Chain A
Amino acid sequence: GESVGLHLPTLSVQEGDNSIINCAYSNSASDYFIWYKQESGKGPQFIIDIRSNMDKRQGQRVTVLLNKTVKHLSLQIAATQPGDSAVYFCAENNAGANSKLTFGKGITLSVRP
């Protein structure tokens, strides 16, 4: 698989390979994180979430890893398929009186057949 930070716009992977999408967050008080997938012309779709009391959470073909020490979040997609092609972005939430989700700009995942 390939790893790339959200400061790069595109990640290209071969169908069947694993994909790793990384996200660096800045607020050490953030306690809840979400990964979304957005296909062209559609609204973002929830993929998986994780709270700060966990380091890892698995879903169907996806795994989210949280490293609070370095404020880093990653999304791993196993056996990437053409239908996984989309923009992926992370969001962080700092629970509190005025908490709002802060969204990253997103990265385009392109799956080569």
Chain B
Amino acid sequence: DGGITQSPKYLFRKEGQNVTLSCEQNLNHDAMYWYRQDPGQGLRLIYYSQIVNDFQKGDIAEGYSVSREKKESFPLTVTSAQKNPTAFYLCASSKIWAGETQYFGPGTRLLVL
């Protein structure tokens, strides 16, 4: 059963804490993405990776970090520098970079305690 999985479904962060959101895909896609979704707003790109061992900042990368050590995995760390982390985080992948459909995971909702 192919697809994109994200975990956990809900995540709580304390002040000053770094948290990591998991994203795994078994679609053999080269490109992966992280988006942030806030109520009433469109998806905003945090980071993207065109290929394994490479990643680029998106439009709102400050306070976030990523790694792409394996083709299947693209974890996102929300650092303590991100002052407004409460949001719905979506991971996506596409077969190749550019001009291809992006398929999304189920999302992780991050809440601040």
Contacts and interface: CB of A to CB of B under 8 A. Distances in A.
Contacts of B40: 9, 105
Interface of B: 4, 6, 40-43, 45, 48, 58, 90, 97-107, 109
B37 to A, nearest CB: 9
Contacts of A44: 43, 90, 104
Q: Which label, helix, strand, loop or mixed, suits the secondary structure of the B interface?
A: loop
A103 B42 contact: yes
Interface residues of A, number: 25
Interface of A: 9, 31-32, 34, 36, 41-46, 49, 89, 91, 93, 95-96, 99-106
B42 A104 contact: yes
Given A44-B90, A100-B48, A106-B42, A93 B98 contact: yes
Given A43-B90, A100-B58, A89 B42 contact: yes
A39 to B, nearest CB: 10
Contacts of B97: 99
Q: Which residue of A32, A101, A106 has the most chain B CB atoms within 10 A of its CB atom?
A: A101
Nearest to A44: B104
A95 B42 contact: no
In the A-B complex, the 4 residue pairs with the smallest Cβ-Cβ separation, listed nearest first, are: A43-B104, A95-B99, A99-B98, A103-B42
B106 A43 contact: yes
A95 B90 CA distance: 22
A35 B42 CA distance: 13
Contacts of A36: 104
